[in-house]
Chain A
Amino acid sequence: MKNTLIDISRSYRADLLKFKNSKVLFIALGAPLFLVALFFTILLFKANQIIGNADNGWIVMLNQLTNTGLSLFFPLFIILITSQISRVEYDANSWKQIYTLPLHRGSIYLSKILMTSSIVLLSLISFGIFYYIFGGILTLIYPELFVYKTEVLSTLVNVLLMSGITSFAWVGIQFWASYRWKNMVLPLALGIVGFVAGVILIKWEHAAYVPFTHLLFTAKALQTDTFSLLNKVSYLSMAYGFLFLLIGYLELKFKKRFS
């Protein structure tokens, strides 16, 4: 067990270095910056019309970011990031080289999952930070419309936690697909088909059982008075995520050819 943890830690540190000079960090930080900056620009010029009689511009901004931004944008971000994590090895033709290192193969796999989760987490945290920075600028420009209250932070934390949990199914599916298929088009195609299916099926009564709809439930959940982080969608998302990561692990464990 101790050796496995050491192997995971070593693999994780090695994976971290591979993103130097790569687009992964740029995407992880640039995507939330772009999203928040976009809504900031809209509010900068149309604050009065958009906020209208609503009592707090901060909450209006967060609702807009969640409804349109996170729900629709985040799945595409996950598709892109997960494909990049495995892509770096396929591009360097290095999988076979990694598997000849004296490491447990499961540790290499787990390290990649941790890396993917870390990037998703980094992106969500930077989303929160950019939200505060741009919200702060709007408060300086429109002090009467953007009144900061403590509920802003708790709502933001709920949004981020809910997004993190409901993105787990997406992460599991996309990670599994990009890990097993060398062809980059296949996981991207799966992700895009899933994304479109999710948008179409969200109004279906059994939509919660479709993993591609889960992120769309984030905005929905925040609109209800009885919001709870651990709801049916959260549990299903975690279950789907673990299921696909387990399938990927079993495929690796029983693989007969490493190339």
Chain B
Amino acid sequence: MEYLIETKELSYSYKNKEVLNNVSIQVPKNSIYGFIGANGAGKTTTIRILLSLLKVGEGKVAIFGKDIVKDRINILSRIGALIEEPSVYQHLSGYDNLKVTCRYLGLPYSRINEVLTITDLLADKNRKVKEYSLGMRQRLSIAMVLLNDPELLILDEPTNGLDPSGIHDIRMLMQRLCKEHGKTIFVSSHLLSELEKTVTHIAVIHNKQIAFQGSIDQLQHQSESNIILRTSDNKKTLKTLVDLGYTVFLTKEQTLRISPNSDTNASKVSRAIIESGVDLYQLTHHRNNLEEVFMEIIDQK
């Protein structure tokens, strides 16, 4: 597999305080790679090192197979980066903001309408940015990073502060960029729920270290599937099922949780409950959502 970003045992300290500890990540080509972690876990520091805004402490950073320290300008010419909140000139129009970036990169203005179309801002291009909503500014920032048609996008918390509609727009935009334009996207967030429907790969950073890295399916399989029961007599049901050898938990919601989940188990459990004379109101299969898995991973660490 070809990796566009590869860090090896990356460590970084600031003012004698450890910020990153042996962070090794591998971002496959054409993936949407979610970089998840709580505030202060080390996400932004990692991104700043990837973009050469911070000097590499210990370890190695290779992007497109090249060393970021030795080949900074060449690497950055193939990357579009957005770091935290939008960096836009509010007294200028959206179109003029893009012209500024075109001038920096020596690009023709002909590309501007194209990126405005991709980010759905074409109709607002002549409005001053101070009249834009936060979501529009964020999309304008993404339009700016798309100008030079980069192979890799590095987006640091692009959904931060956005309303649900703005978050949805950014998600859709990322999916389009990956599927239709072949971009590889490295995106960070402190909320897994914002990204779980979008990303193909994920890394969880916790306490300055990588707690999990893999595809979204691999993360899903980290969680155990359960059977959730709602009955007319939980106490009696609990005893019946324990006697049958199941491990049963009474949840806060006054339901019973049994694992592992399987069709055979579901069938055995429902028969036993009914035979014990208890009414079975609900039997559902439940798998932890990614947010719960994320919390489990963090708790384990």
Q: Could you list which residues of chain A lie within 8 angstroms of chain B, going by C-beta atoms? A: 6, 10-11, 13-14, 17-18, 20-22, 88, 91-94, 96-104, 256-259
Contacts and interface: CB of A to CB of B under 8 A. Distances in A.
B105 A10 contact: yes
7 contacts: A10-B103, A10-B105, A101-B76, A101-B104, A102-B73, A104-B73, A256-B55
B90 interface: yes
Given A92-B90, A94-B88, A97-B81, 19 more contacts: A6-B106, A10-B103, A10-B106, A14-B100, A17-B92, A17-B100, A97-B83, A97-B87, A100-B51, A100-B52, A100-B79, A101-B101, A101-B104, A103-B104, A256-B54, A256-B55, A258-B48, A259-B48, A259-B53
Contact of B103 (A13, A88, A93, A258): A13
A257 B92 contact: no
B74 interface: yes
Question: Which 10 A-B residue pairs are closest in the complex by CB-CB distance?
Answer: A102-B77, A97-B87, A14-B103, A94-B87, A102-B76, A258-B53, A13-B103, A100-B81, A14-B104, A100-B51
A20 B53 contact: no
B208 interface: no
B249 interface: no
A104 B73 CA distance: 7
A101 B92 contact: no
A13 B103 CA distance: 6
Contacts of B149: none
A257 B53 contact: yes
A258 B99 contact: no
A47 to B, nearest CB: 42
A100 B100 contact: no
Contacts of B54: 256-258
Contact of A20 (B82, B92, B101, B104): B92
Nearest to A97: B87
A234 to B, nearest CB: 35
Nearest to A99: B53
A93 B89 contact: no
Nearest to B54: A257
Contacts of A11: 104
Contacts of A20: 91-92, 96
B124 interface: no
B85 interface: yes
A19 to B, nearest CB: 9
Contacts of B79: 100
A99 to B, nearest CB: 6
A10 B104 contact: yes
A18 B51 CA distance: 24
A258 B83 CA distance: 12
Contacts of A6: 106
A70 to B, nearest CB: 30
Nearest to A101: B104
Given A11-B104, A102-B76, A103-B104, A92 B87 contact: yes
B105 A102 contact: yes
B18 to A, nearest CB: 16
A100 B86 CA distance: 14
Nearest to A108: B104
Contacts of B87: 92-94, 96-97
Nearest to B156: A96
Nearest to A22: B91
B104 A92 contact: no
A10 B105 CA distance: 7
A100 B53 contact: yes
Nearest to A88: B89
Nearest to A259: B53
Contacts of B83: 96-97, 100
